Amino acid sequence: MSFATTPEPPYYAVIFASTLTGEDLAGYAKTAARMLELAQQQDGYLGEDSAREDIGITVSYWRDLAAIKAWKQQLDHAQAREQGREKWYCGYSLRIAKVGHAYSWER
Amino acid sequence: MSFATTPEPPYYAVIFASTLTGEDLAGYAKTAARMLELAQQQDGYLGEDSAREDIGITVSYWRDLAAIKAWKQQLDHAQAREQGREKWYCGYSLRIAKVGHAYSWER
């Protein structure tokens, strides 16, 4: 497993944390996979890292705020969010942050 | 399970993603718990969200860059990082980002 590889900062991060109701997990997984596929096709998408344990965290990286806004307004994505609030999510938090410094290390 | 609750932006996020070697997982877990305890005692610490699946992601929140720097230099934390590179981590990435917008939703 490897990490998102991103260009030199500055760029932007969308930090999304969520808890699931447990309802319709198959539908959730299918939609999540489809959303990743669609995000990857968006202009300005740079990559993402994701993990779920008690909570799920997805951090996606974007060239600029305009690219984040365009993804927010993408129609299938907006519909998926709506479904998420209806059945999949207990709750979520979303933060938009400007990455100013990045460092990575590998063995 | 609930999320980090943070004040109104602006504040800072440290986005840490890692993969483990699998060596000494008990020692890793013990040190990780101790580091969380110590971070919580640092001036300017605001909270964190964490999950591990294929990769681990910890996003910690801080009042300002000075608080992040002070935590980086905290002696026990520096020693833990050293141990991490010696045995626990396959690799990691670390990003420092300024949170400008935050939103949360709960059922």
For residue B77, give how far its alpha carbon lies from the nearest alpha carbon of chain A (Å).
Answer: 17
> Which chain A residues are within 8 Å of B21, Cβ to Cβ?
107
> For residue A79, what pLDDT is reported?
97
A103: nearest CA partner in chain B: B94
B91:A99 CB<8 A: no
The average pLDDT across B80-85 equals 97
> For residue B1, what pLDDT is reported?
58
> Which chain B residues are within 8 Å of A54, Cβ to Cβ?
1, 51
User: Which pTM does this prediction carry?
Assistant: 0.97
> For residue A92, what pLDDT is reported?
97
> Which chain B residues are within 8 Å of A105, Cβ to Cβ?
85, 89, 91-93
* ipTM given for this complex: 0.96
pLDDT over 90 at B11, yes or no = yes
Task: Report DSSP state, residue A16.
Answer: E
Q: How far apart are CA A88 and CA A60, in angstroms?
A: 20
> For residue A25, what pLDDT is reported?
97
Pull the structure tokens for residue B43. Answer: 């001036």
Kindly report, residue by residue over B13-71, the tens digit of the pLDDT. Answer: 999 999 999 999 999 999 999 999 999 999 999 999 999 999 999 999 999 999 999 99
pLDDT over 80 at B2, yes or no = no
> Which chain A residues are within 8 Å of B51, Cβ to Cβ?
51-57
When comparing pLDDT for A14 and A3, which is higher?
A14
A91:B106 CB<8 A: yes
Q: How far apart are CA A21 and CA A8, in angstroms?
A: 37
> For residue B97, what pLDDT is reported?
98
> For residue A1, what pLDDT is reported?
58
Share of chain A above pLDDT 70, in %: 99
B100:A97 CB<8 A: yes
- The SS3 of residue A83 is helix
A51:B57 CB<8 A: yes
Residue A99 confidence class, pLDDT cut points 50, 70, 90: very high
> Which chain A residues are within 8 Å of B19, Cβ to Cβ?
1-3
Which residue ranges form the domains of chain A, and what is each CATH number? 11-99 (3.30.70.100)
> For residue B89, what pLDDT is reported?
97
Residue pairs between chains A and B whose CB atoms are closer than 8 Å: 144
